[in-house]
Amino acid sequence: KQEVTQIPAALSVPEGENLVLNCSFTDSAIYNLQWFRQDPGKGLTSLLLIQSSQREQTSGRLNASLDKSSGRSTLYIAASQPGDSATYLCAVIVSGGSNYKLTFGKGTLLTVNP
Amino acid sequence: DTEVTQTPKHLVMGMTNKKSLKCEQHMGHRAMYWYKQKAKKPPELMFVYSYEKLSINESVPSRFSPECPNSSLLNLHLHALQPEDSALYLCASSPQTGSTEAFFGQGTRLTVV
């Protein structure tokens, strides 16, 4: 059974700092990996999708990497801002025939202090 | 347009009530999902619809009944729920082929009293 672990569970940093969130998964037979952001009581906002053949993806101040063989992904946030405060969720996407399923980690709660 | 729209945003229902949650997307996605999320927990998959057919049911109790009337709509019918069913219910969609990027709605906050 695929298990996804995110470290740390919570992180508090001062504004402007660069930071790294970690995600690991137990079964390397994934199709893709997706990072999300969730604000309290809200839905999930897709940040980055990394296909299994890719090593990294970038969007603005965000950079996500994927090492499928070691079962790891990182989300790098540059020059953090208070508006980045949210829970960040990593999800691995596995294929079961014609279906795709997302398995989530428990998330990292990020607080960026002004 | 990468929007998935869920209604209502909030719902309070009694244990004997029947209610429905609705989800709509106009991205042409052929896979649609229901997830349940309890406080401070990750989303848990409930159902997957692929080309309007139920393809995955993660052993969800029968008091939750999904329906996919067409490729843009997904409903979740609720009946005889328990207080422990109170949660944020999230709908998502993805293209099914090619990119598997999933897009989520803002959720329905359900409270069962």
The string of pLDDT tens digits covering residues B90-105 is 999 998 765 678 999 9
Q: How far apart are CA B96 and CA B55, in angstroms?
A: 12
pLDDT for A6-57, tens place per residue?
999 999 999 999 999 999 999 888 889 999 999 998 999 999 999 888 999 9
Contact A51, A62 (CB under 8 A): no
Per-residue DSSP letters for B3-71? -EEEE-SEEEE-TT-EEEEEEEE-S--SEEEEEEE-TTS--EEEEEEETTEEEEE-S--TTEEEEEEET
pLDDT at B109 over 80: yes
Q: How far apart are CA A28 and CA A25, in angstroms?
A: 7
Nearest to B48 among A32, A51, A99 (CB): A99
Q: What angle do CA A49, A52, A53 make, to 5 degrees?
A: 110
pLDDT score recorded for residue B16: 92
For residue A98, which residues of chain B lie inside 8 Å, CB to CB?
50, 55, 96
How far is residue A48 from each of residues A34, A41, A60, A111, B39, measured CA to CA in Å?
6, 21, 11, 20, 24
Instruction: Report residue A72's pLDDT band, with 50, 70 and 90 as the boundaries.
Output: very high
pLDDT at A2 over 80: yes
Contact A110, A61 (CB under 8 A): no
pLDDT score recorded for residue A5: 96
Nearest to A98 among B50, B92, B109 (CB): B50
pLDDT for B10-69, tens place per residue?
999 999 999 999 999 999 999 999 999 999 899 999 999 999 999 989 999 999 999 999
Q: Does B27 touch chain A (CB under 8 A)?
A: no
pLDDT score recorded for residue B47: 95
Residue pairs spanning A and B at CB distance below 8 A:
66
pLDDT score recorded for residue B1: 63
pLDDT for A87-109, tens place per residue?
999 999 887 766 788 999 999 99
pLDDT score recorded for residue B67: 97
pLDDT score recorded for residue B98: 56
